[in-house]
Amino acid sequence: MASAVSAVFKVIIVARTAEDGQPLYFKVDGQRFADNRTVKACSQSKYEIAITLKPSLGELTRVAWGGIELDIKDSKVQEKSSTYNCIWPTDTYDVTKKGQRSRMPIVLVIESVGKIETAFQCKFYGLSDRMHSRWGDEIKQMEIDCKAPQVGDLVDVVRVTYK
């Protein structure tokens, strides 16, 4: 499916713990793993995920986060942006062993635009180690700069940044 949209756009993802509204954190791992940054999260927890499309392009119809299909709870669509909210439960993930990292794919499907595929590197901590999961740099938001496909349905991910 070729996109009717021929523009660059931005996807902004904000993730916070459902229990207390705390953000995710990341640490710089250098060259020890596939990515140089590791997002820190707790297993056996829930995270509120807000996904904003700028500009508002089409309806977000699918969110898969770390291999789990997330239900879109609600949305707010405006001319300049649209925001969709989901809950990411982490109860299916085991605590990550020392020296290992998990690859967390993100798949977003936007009607009339296409599919966005990206991933981040993650380490899961137990609830008893929650304080350790909050050491590092706070992730206020993850920004994915995208270019709508001219042919096919796979969106070109230009850049992913943590702010």
Distance from C-alpha of 151 to C-alpha of 75, rounded to nearest angstrom: 28
- Domains of the chain, CATH where assigned: 8-162 (2.60.40.10)
**Angstrom distances, CA of residue 17 to CA of 40, 43, 44:** 12, 11, 11
Going through the chain in order, the beta strands assigned E by DSSP cover: 8-17, 24-28, 37-42, 46-54, 60-65, 68-70, 72-77, 82-89, 102-110, 114-125, 137-139, 142-147, 156-162
- Asked whether 48 and 159 are in contact (CB, 8 A), the reply is no
The reported pLDDT for the residue numbered 26 is 97
The reported pLDDT for the residue numbered 6 is 52
123: left (phi over 0), alpha (psi -120 to 50) or beta: beta
Distance from C-alpha of 8 to C-alpha of 28, rounded to nearest angstrom: 28
For residue 77, the SS3 value is strand
Summarised one tens digit per residue, pLDDT across range 5-24 is 558 999 999 999 999 999 99
Summarised one tens digit per residue, pLDDT across range 21-67 is 999 999 999 889 999 999 999 999 999 999 999 999 899 999 999 99
